[in-house]
Amino acid sequence: MAVYIVVDNPNGWPFDAAGAEVISARRYLTDPRFIDIKRARIFNLCKSYGYQTTGYYVSLLAAARGHKPMPSISTLQELRQSVLARVITDDVNQRLQKILAPLESERFELSIYFGRNTAKRYDHLAQTLFNLFPAPLLRAEFVRGEQWRIQSLRVIAADDVPDSHRDFVIDQARRFFARPRVVGRVPARYKLAILADPDAIDAPSDDRAIRRFVRAAAKAGIAASIIGKQDYGRVAEFDGLFLRETTAVNHHTYRFAVRAAAEGLVVVDDPESIIRCTNKVYQAELFARNSINCPQTLIVHRDNAVEVGQRLGFPCVLKKPDSAFSAGVVKVDDAEALATELGRLFKQSELVVAQAFLPSQFDWRIGILAGKPLFAARYYMARGHWQIQKAHDEKRRSYGKVEAIATEDVPARAVDLAVHAANLIGQGFYGVDLKEVDGEFFVIEVNDNPNVEAGYEDTVLKDALYAAIIEYFVERFENRAAAAQVR
């Protein structure tokens, strides 16, 4: 991929730019050569990025041409609209206070060059701000009141860099300008980021499965990179994002999906799917409205809590709306347990989902990709437990047996019901959980980014399972490229 540094006046560019071509903003905006280039990374270092200025149009037209600008229009808009308050989460604020505590001054200025600072002790703070607002050169100002707070964050131009910082900036720029290594022998047509956390206990894909995704991508001409939550600032470098972490709306996975979608990436699964799949109240309403066969369900609030036992009987199941991997899901056997658990759950959510308990030896899982069945499995209950997973503590789990089944060997009614339910969510990658009771099928829930683990879900399709998911990305990439050419 070609790399261009776009500045107002190349004659005044003070840095060595090995691996990148330095061009003027006017040339980039007007020279037909740059309209026809299909793939390029654009480092926009103009002096001004205000609305409808030259710097603004460089990033805007780069996005229209299918190039990868840094900063992107979404980053410029966020900085212009002063959304800094949302940056400082409790976790970030604690680190901010700790890092700046030794300072005796009332004000502090932090220069951020490609996510780094010249002083190593400020690197973590610099990386945090860069991850939230990816731009090559940033400057943040902090002021001290009762505690330190960020007062401003702005993009700066190359000539705002002090002479004493220039060698450092050159080193950091070279790191970004370097061409990525292509995995495999096939030249990479696209770049795919796979967001994964190897330390997560409930990760939807294990290390072996992640490696198989990378190999499948290489065979399809895609350079796949494994990224973590610290790589938020790199999202715009890629053509697609594949989430292989357990998602939640109040979580970095959702922020990654939102950022990637805003940057025009193909995202699996997209932010809307995450919202719809991670909230059981939403799904209960959606399924009821569309006549999806489910266990008898009641949306519970403080005013109707007494109706749960009357309408559903005992035992019944209570679900925290954003439960995942069986966490936040409890079975209650009587009215006393019901009152206790509802009291606990109401402290976390105003609404709780209650369902009739349907005992079974296993749950069906039908994997749906782009509205079509991809794989199927039976998830058996954990030994001595009523769920497929039993949590012993925060770090220890036990599971029931997983038995992959060819989709053609699954009862057609189960597959049809799963497809119907998944299509109400979207056209991404979903895992539909069903129970079978006396030959009747009931949808329990639809999950985004379903499990694909080596030796489990892939035992029927093997490498073809990974290839099919990668091919989905390829089709989306090519459809997007074709649409851009038509425009």
Same domain flag for 121 and 145: yes
- Residue 184 phi, psi dihedral angles, 5° rounding: 90, 180
Same domain flag for 159 and 221: no
Residue pair 55/131 in contact by the 8 Å Cβ criterion: no
User: pLDDT value at position 183?
Assistant: 42
Closest CA to 448 of 275, 261, 319, 286: 275
- Residue 16 phi, psi dihedral angles, 5° rounding: -70, 135
Same domain flag for 376 and 396: yes
Same domain flag for 253 and 311: no
Q: What is the CATH classification number for the domain harbouring 109?
A: 3.30.470
pLDDT averaged over every residue in the chain: 89
Closest CA to 423 of 294, 276, 279, 323: 276
Q: What is the CATH classification number for the domain harbouring 11?
A: 3.40.250
User: pLDDT value at position 377?
Assistant: 98
User: pLDDT value at position 47?
Assistant: 86
Same domain flag for 158 and 200: no
- The DSSP code for 13 is -
Same domain flag for 90 and 167: yes
Q: Pick the last residue of a domain from 78, 109, 133.
A: 78
**17 in any annotated domain:** yes
User: pLDDT value at position 441?
Assistant: 98
User: pLDDT value at position 270?
Assistant: 95
Q: What is the CATH classification number for the domain harbouring 413?
A: 3.30.470.20
List 139's β-bridge partners, or say none: 111, 154
List 389's β-bridge partners, or say none: 399
Number of domains into which the chain is organized:
5
User: pLDDT value at position 185?
Assistant: 45
**458 in any annotated domain:** no
- Report the alpha-carbon distance of residue 20 to residue 40 in Å, rounded: 11
Provide the whole-model pTM. 0.77
- The DSSP code for 116 is B
In tens digits, what is the pLDDT along the chain, a chain of 487 residues? 788 999 988 887 766 666 788 999 999 999 989 988 878 889 998 888 887 889 889 999 998 888 889 898 878 877 776 556 555 666 778 888 999 999 999 999 999 999 899 999 999 899 888 888 888 999 999 999 989 988 889 888 887 889 899 889 888 887 766 644 444 444 578 999 999 997 888 899 999 999 999 999 999 999 999 999 888 878 888 999 999 999 998 888 998 999 899 888 999 999 999 999 999 999 999 999 999 999 999 999 999 999 999 999 999 999 988 876 666 899 999 999 999 999 999 998 999 999 999 999 999 999 999 999 999 999 999 999 999 888 777 677 888 999 999 999 999 999 999 999 999 999 999 999 999 999 999 999 999 999 999 999 999 999 999 999 999 999 999 988 777 665 5
- Domain that residue 33 falls in: 2-78
- Report the alpha-carbon distance of residue 312 to residue 304 in Å, rounded: 13
List 143's β-bridge partners, or say none: 107, 149
* Alpha helices (H) in 291-409, listed in sequence order: 307-312, 335-346
Q: What is the CATH classification number for the domain harbouring 206?
A: 3.40.50.20
**184 in any annotated domain:** no
Same domain flag for 102 and 145: yes
Same domain flag for 436 and 370: yes
- Report the alpha-carbon distance of residue 473 to residue 468 in Å, rounded: 9
User: pLDDT value at position 397?
Assistant: 83
Q: What angle do CA 345, 349, 354 make, to 5 degrees?
A: 60
- Residue 25 phi, psi dihedral angles, 5° rounding: -60, -40
Q: What percent of the chain shows pLDDT beyond 90?
A: 60
| Cis before 458 (ω within 30) | no
> Cβ atoms within 10 A of the Cβ of 128, count?
22
Same domain flag for 69 and 101: no
Residue 295: strand, helix, or coil? coil
Q: Pick the last residue of a domain from 135, 153, 177.
A: 177
